[in-house]
Structure 1
Amino acid sequence: MPKLLFDPKKHPDWILPQTAEWHANLALESGGYKYPWKSVFDEPRAEVIFTEKISAFLHQNARVLDVGCGHGEFTKTFEHRAKEIMGIDVNEGYIASANEGASESIKFLVVDANKPLPFFDDSFDVIYTKKGPWLFHKGMEEGHRIIKPGGTTLGLYHCGTDGGLRSLFPGLYSPHPDSYLEDITAKFESQMSESNLERIELRIFEEVEYLLAPEDVLIKKCFGQKESLKKIVWQECLKDVEDIFYQHTTPRGLRVVNYHALMVGRAR
């Protein structure tokens, strides 16, 4: 049985991922939502799939909204593919980074997507989010208010990582329940059915990634955490992680699997 490793989630300095505190710490450290570990991927990557999905609905007169745009790197992918692109995020540090070098066709604003949005009715042809707030939950009217009739909304959500990672590094990573993928599917099925959108696509899919070094296992785990906690994790875990990593790595790196949910809907 593999050795039980140090569990950073039990340390008092652990910040729950995707909370306001976690995003604030990440923005302070790096200025944006950027993955710091080194890895390579089997193609197509999830981000490439999502980019192609969004691009299929763009045209020269389209107005586009990126909800939860982070530091704006992904938003800028669509420069010159639409008339106007707007990126919003609640984190001021992310938006400050996004506005650096932004062109006239792209605007970034500090906006809390859980509150009334500063846009006119029927403002956008395409609304998308990559791991950000979904504006079309049951009971939420703002998304339906600002999207044009017949407009398209898309969402891409990271739903966890495994591919053996959680069994190789117990304690450091927690196991998923046997019903994990079924639970994810049910969650997004419910979300789509309650959204009052015409469903175009719902897909749960895998993305294969190869971590290049033992340190990348720890960097991935401690993404967004404070430096004080990272130092403790390195001291407690690095030697064991190195031993396990080199026992199981492939010529490309340690193979892990990222799960993603893709949603595409059309406003009625």
Structure 2
Amino acid sequence: MTSSFSNRMQHTDWIEPHSRAWYEQLAGEYGEYAYPWKSEFDEPTAETMFGQRLEARIGEHTRLLDVGCGHGDFLHRWAGHAMEAVGIDVVEPFIATANRRRLQPSHRFLTVDVNEGLPFEDGYFDMVSSKKGPWLYRKSGGEGRRVIKPGGTVLHLMHGGTDGGLRALFPDLYTPVPPFDKQRSLQHVAKQLELAESGLTDMEIEVVEEVEYLSRPIDVLIKKYFGQSRALREQVWRERLAGVEEVFHKHATARGLQVTNVYYIVTGRVPF
């Protein structure tokens, strides 16, 4: 029988990943942005690498703005020694969780829609970071540029997709894509973020190919349908889990089913 989910993104209940509705669905169910599937990684992960680069640039007098902070755990982990760290997110339940878990008085979390402006003084921050959140530097005169000091640092972690054979194994779940080409992907990121018009200098894009091992067959589906409604997930589980189990057990290693997550770490500086 042909799966009715072969074209899953045209299903009426499908929510576009990383849209506002998708984040609100996550917040309503979990109250945080945390991955619910089970897996293990080859270290360091992309998020660890990004956190290390962030931490290395923070001094005792640094004011940091984290855009799209989610429930705040990343900021707590990597920005503990900043003079001030402010996390903003448009999803109020995420901010409520972040404030409830707040560990340091130097940290604060605010509900902010970046499309409506930023409630901070000109040149207030030394650094602006975003872990898979909004990119504020598509034009040189935008709000992101206004709130950061001349000479300030911008860091951004961007997810570039998942493959490593996963799409070929599950073509009815994942849209096939051409083989990964590093140079072409760098050009795509630069165009997507409009780096040439950003007004930033010392731009660097680092490609991270993160290796992950999904622990169980159901984790393939949990990863794919992360952020979707419970009703849609349960329907997919009933229809697809048996087929996924067959493929998983045929191709999994002792650590699990290996997949590759591609990320980009973008760094730049505001000119003096």
TM-score norm. by structure 2 comes to: 0.93
Which of 232, 249, 253 matches 1:250? 253
What is the rounded CA distance, in whole Å, between the counterparts of 2:59 and 2:222 in structure 1? 39
Q: Establish whether residue 234 from structure 1 lines up as the match of residue 237 from structure 2.
A: yes
* Count of residue correspondences: 266
Task: Return 216-225 or 179-188, whichever deviates more.
Answer: 179-188
Offset at residue 81 of structure 1 (A) = 1.2
Identity score, percent: 48
Partner residue in 1 for 2:142: 141
Offset at residue 55 of structure 1 (A) = 1.1
Report the residue type matching 2:190 in the other structure: E
What is the rounded CA distance, in whole Å, between the counterparts of 1:134 and 1:104 in structure 2? 27
Report the residue type matching 2:259 in the other structure: V
Rate the CA distance shift 1:155–1:255 in 2: closer, same or farther, 3 A. same
Offset at residue 19 of structure 1 (A) = 1.0
Is the CA contact (8 Å cut-off) linking 2:140 and 2:200 kept in structure 1?
no
Partner residue in 1 for 2:175: 174
Partner residue in 2 for 1:37: 37
Is the CA contact (8 Å cut-off) linking 1:157 and 1:262 kept in structure 2?
yes
Partner residue in 2 for 1:217: 220
Q: Establish whether residue 66 from structure 1 lines up as the match of residue 70 from structure 2.
A: no
Offset at residue 193 of structure 1 (A) = 2.3
Partner residue in 1 for 2:126: 125
Partner residue in 2 for 1:6: 5
Partner residue in 2 for 1:84: 84
Map Cα deviations across residues 153-188 of structure 1 (whole Å, 9 max, x no partner).
000011110000000011111111347655532132
Which of 197, 208, 225 matches 2:200? 197
Q: Establish whether residue 51 from structure 1 lines up as the match of residue 51 from structure 2.
A: yes
Partner residue in 2 for 1:110: 111
TM-score norm. by structure 1 comes to: 0.95
Partner residue in 2 for 1:19: 19
Any unmatched runs of 5+ in structure 1?
Answer: none
Q: Secondary structure at 1:167's aligned position in 2?
A: helix
What is the rounded CA distance, in whole Å, between the counterparts of 2:63 and 2:141 in structure 1? 21
Q: What RMSD, in angstroms, separates the aligned Cα atoms of the two structures? A: 1.6
Offset at residue 18 of structure 1 (A) = 0.9
What is the rounded CA distance, in whole Å, between the counterparts of 2:98 and 2:90 in structure 1? 12
Partner residue in 2 for 1:259: 262
Map Cα deviations across residues 103-156 of structure 1 (whole Å, 9 max, x no partner).
211000000112221000111111100000111112551111111111100000
Report the residue type matching 2:5 in the other structure: F
4+ residue segments displaced more than 6 Å = none
What is the rounded CA distance, in whole Å, between the counterparts of 1:4 and 1:185 in structure 2? 35
Any unmatched runs of 5+ in structure 2?
Answer: none
What is the rounded CA distance, in whole Å, between the counterparts of 2:227 and 2:139 in structure 1? 30
Is the CA contact (8 Å cut-off) linking 1:68 and 1:87 kept in structure 2?
yes
